[in-house]
Amino acid sequence: MKILNLKVLQENQERSLQSLGIEVVTKTVSHNQIVNYCANHDFDGLLVDANYKITTTLLDQLNSLKFIIVVGKSLAHIPFEYAKKLGIQIYTTEQAYIQTEAELIIAHSLSCLRNLKDCNREMPLEGDIRFNQMHKLFSQGDSLWGQTWGFLGFDAVAERVVQLLQNWGVKFMVAGEAKPYTTNNSQGQNKESSIEPKSCSEETLYREADIISVHKYDDDEYLIDASSLNLMKKTAGIINTYHPRVIDEVALIDALNDEKIGFAALDVFENQPKPEIQLLMQPRISLSPNIANHSKQADYLASKMATQQIINIFENLKK
């Protein structure tokens, strides 16, 4: 078996595949050259990252492939069913990133509630001369305890946020249908507890939630626009690690400037990798450069999962 690895597999995993007799070609190939390159080298499989644009047109031209593995958190635009009709299986490693993204969402919430984003901006500048004033100002943050967390959409990451915060005194609500599920006790005891977030309309969620995190995406329009922001509490905040086109950023800046909402936390941006300067300079926003789906542990696990998927395919082909 021969596969093209677009530099997404870690070296130790690549070596383990080669030790089994699987030929791994590791190379950077531009998107507009991938069809010709694959046609000239007779690959069975292709490994790409989650930012790689897999379209129906591309799949038509790569129909000699047996499989594609997306190493990263895949987005909803990947045409799984169309690929299946062509005889191409598409595998993902998105399960590897659930914990990492949930942790960053919680970290952003704490950064905003406890004024950490402001401390980190101002302490290096005047922490030595305004320490007592900063102590008085920034110690008036809010605890997560007693907050109502609203989920716009409810995916595996949202479930993990609930699991991680189940003992933090946080209430949960979901716009749409929320399924109850059972989770192990976080203290390591052999006990299970049932978690059932409150289901509500989107309007109710905007009006009642103290923190809203985004877990879905609409191709046609913003999920959060000026009308949505106008419904929110003045102290409430929004966290988006899901997709760059979820929030109307102009409306968000206006809402923050006019103090219609309390804060925002953004890991993805409409114009990334060059976010608008108004976002970067807005003091009510906690910022990160699209890192929600990445950590050393998650990237290692994703590479390991991709490797195991290839081994499974290889073993099945030998049968």
Q: What is the pTM of this model?
A: 0.87
Residues 6+ apart with CB under 8 A from 135: none
137-158 pLDDT, tens digit per residue, is 999 999 999 999 999 999 999 9
237-285 pLDDT, tens digit per residue, is 999 999 999 999 999 999 999 999 999 999 999 999 999 999 999 999 9
Which residue, among 235, 209, 214, has the nearest Cα to 224 in the 3D structure? 214
Domain boundaries, given as residue ranges, for the chain: 2-92+296-318, 98-287
User: Homologous superfamily of 98-287 in CATH?
Assistant: NAD(P)-binding Rossmann-like Domain (3.40.50.720)
Using CB atoms within 10 Å of the CB of residue 316, give its burial: 0 to 12 exposed, 13 to 18 middle, 19+ buried: exposed
CB 118 within 8 A of CB 96: no
188-213 pLDDT, tens digit per residue, is 444 555 667 889 999 999 999 999 99
User: Homologous superfamily of 2-92+296-318 in CATH?
Assistant: NAD(P)-binding Rossmann-like Domain (3.40.50.720)
